[in-house]
Amino acid sequence: MLEARGADAEHGEDVFESRQGEWVPLTEEAEKRQKRFFRAVAASERALLLLDYDGTLAGFRADRFQSRPWAGVRELLTAMQAEGRTRLAVITGRPSEEIAPMLALPKAVEVWGLHGAERLYPNGRRVLDAARGASHRKLNAVRAQLKKDALGGLYEDKANAAVLHWRGFPATKARAIEQRARALFEPLAKLEGLRLLNFDGGVELRAGRDKGGAVEAILAEEKPKTPVAYLGDDLSDEAAFRAVNRARGARLSVLVRRKQRPSAAQIWLRPPAELRGFLQQWKQALQA
């Protein structure tokens, strides 16, 4: 059940637009849940802050290399890095090496790229969890085919995936691209080791760990009740929300999005103001 975030006094926002388009007061539930979580962070030796990048820390740009973090975000993450109790990790659909130049933080950051399939350690070591054997050959055949003919959409090639985008195309054209993409991908997604990943404006045929798997891998490296939060905006973040909801300690799954949608996330924040507010409260919890 998704709860709206409580009123943010600093920004004077005390209402939100519901799924039905009515203006309704914010619930106190979300505010309470968030406060409880930050009390747990304040009381812990260590906490996990897991973040998607595009749409969560930065707005969308046609050229993704122009998507810089929203104002204030870099400073707040820098403060957390310096304080040292927060394990910060970015879990993104992009190749992992693209994140550090965008964030430009003083210390190296842990990144899980390709929706979790690729891990980049802060020391620069990179490990890819990719397809093997028959599924690998099928995936590579599709990648080669789409490089030549993108079915009218925009093809993005990844080491572990074939991605077809229709974001920004007129509705009729977008539907036609989607139909062709699904006709190609869906039979293959039934094969062992390959899966379909839906996201806003596209679909991905992929192998390897997803964002939920990345969250689980991170949690497995920590003490059992370490507080964990995951912030994301897209359908591909749902697996990560569910993984956080299953964690044993204090946990918070957060949908960061201008408009609410059905989600496994526990609370909803609207960027960038409410995102900044969340990171500020995290920083304050560490100082408490």
Which residues of this protein are in contact with Mg ion, per CB under 5 A? Answer: 52, 54-55, 233-234
Instruction: For the CB of residue 151, give the shortest distance to Mg ion in the complex, in Å.
Output: 23
Q: Which residue has the tokens 């964030």?
A: 103
Closer to Mg ion by Cβ: residue 52 or 238:
52
- Count Cβ atoms below 10 Å from residue 225 Cβ, excluding itself: 13
- Count Cβ atoms below 10 Å from residue 202 Cβ, excluding itself: 21
Closer to Mg ion by Cβ: residue 41 or 98:
98
Instruction: For the CB of residue 237, give the shortest distance to Mg ion in the complex, in Å.
Output: 6
Number of residue whose CB is nearest Mg ion? 55
Closer to Mg ion by Cβ: residue 6 or 69:
69
279 closest CA partner among 73, 2, 55: 73
Instruction: For the CB of residue 236, give the shortest distance to Mg ion in the complex, in Å.
Output: 7
Burial class (CB in 10 A: 0-12, 13-18, 19+), 136: middle
Closer to Mg ion by Cβ: residue 153 or 202:
202
Closer to Mg ion by Cβ: residue 6 or 212:
212
Closer to Mg ion by Cβ: residue 38 or 230:
230
Instruction: For the CB of residue 215, give the shortest distance to Mg ion in the complex, in Å.
Output: 15
Do the strands 47-51 and 86-91 form a parallel or antiparallel pair, or are they unpaired? parallel
Instruction: For the CB of residue 111, give the shortest distance to Mg ion in the complex, in Å.
Output: 14
- Please list, residue by residue across 64-77, b when 16 or more beta carbons sit within 10 angstroms of its beta carbon and e when fewer do: eeebebbeebbebb
Structure tokens at 64: 């993704």
Instruction: For the CB of residue 233, give the shortest distance to Mg ion in the complex, in Å.
Output: 4
185 closest CA partner among 194, 193, 176, 175: 194
201 Cβ partners below 8 Å, 6+ apart? 165, 166, 167, 168, 174
Structural contact between residues 257 and 249, judged by C-beta atoms closer than 8 angstroms = no
Instruction: For the CB of residue 232, give the shortest distance to Mg ion in the complex, in Å.
Output: 6
Closer to Mg ion by Cβ: residue 95 or 193:
95
